[in-house]
């Protein structure tokens, strides 16, 4: 195992449910460290850029409307094997299929409003982290 960073987004549905603290508590309780975090309101254009890999999918319009419908909380999480560990903590895409103990089981509603995003690979993390965080904002890493 090696130390990795992954991008987390607390999506507008979870922010609307007052679950920012609840999600961050689950992240920290799982032993992942929050090394950068902020609230942002994504424009439709930013959401389309972030989810460009899904631009041909039938749900792309809905997804980018949803992601730009309210504020989100973006964070960089760090830890051993952080990418897979966070995916496991999130649970599957469809919240209705998420096992107990996962973030999506607790705070998600369905396949779209599923509370959180997490990078799915080192390659995704390497593009998703700088999408939201400048080098300046990431400077303090590894000093926690």
Residues with catalytic annotation?
A: 117
Q: Which helix (H) or strand (E) holds 74?
A: strand 71-80
Among ligand ADP, Mg ion, none, what does residue 127 contact (CB within 5–8 Å per kind)? none
Smallest separation (angstroms) from ligand ADP to the CB of 23: 14
Which window, 66-74, 81-89, 101-109, 120-128, contacts Mg ion (CB under 5 A)?
120-128
Burial class of 3 by CB neighbour count within 10 A (0 to 12, 13 to 18, 19+): exposed
Nearest-approach distance from CB 83 to ligand ADP, in angstroms: 11
Task: Please identify, using beta-carbon distances, which residue of 51 and 81 lies nearer to Mg ion.
Answer: 51
């Amino acid at each position: 195992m090696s130390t990795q960073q992954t991008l987390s987004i607390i999506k507008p549905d979870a922010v609307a449910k007052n679950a920012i603290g609840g999600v961050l508590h689950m992240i920290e309780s799982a032993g992942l460290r929050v090394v950068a975090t902020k609230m942002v309101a994504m424009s439709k254009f930013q959401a389309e850029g972030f989810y460009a890999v899904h631009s041909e999918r039938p749900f792309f319009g809905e997804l980018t409307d949803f992601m730009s419908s309210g504020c989100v909380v973006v964070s960089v999480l760090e830890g051993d094997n952080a990418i897979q560990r966070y995916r496991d903590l999130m649970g599957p895409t469809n919240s209705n299929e998420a096992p107990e103990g996962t973030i999506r089981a607790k705070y998600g509603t369905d396949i779209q409003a599923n509370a959180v995003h997490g990078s799915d690979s080192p390659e995704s993390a390497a593009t998703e982290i700088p999408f939201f965080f400048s080098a300046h904002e990431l400077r303090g890493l590894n000093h926690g």
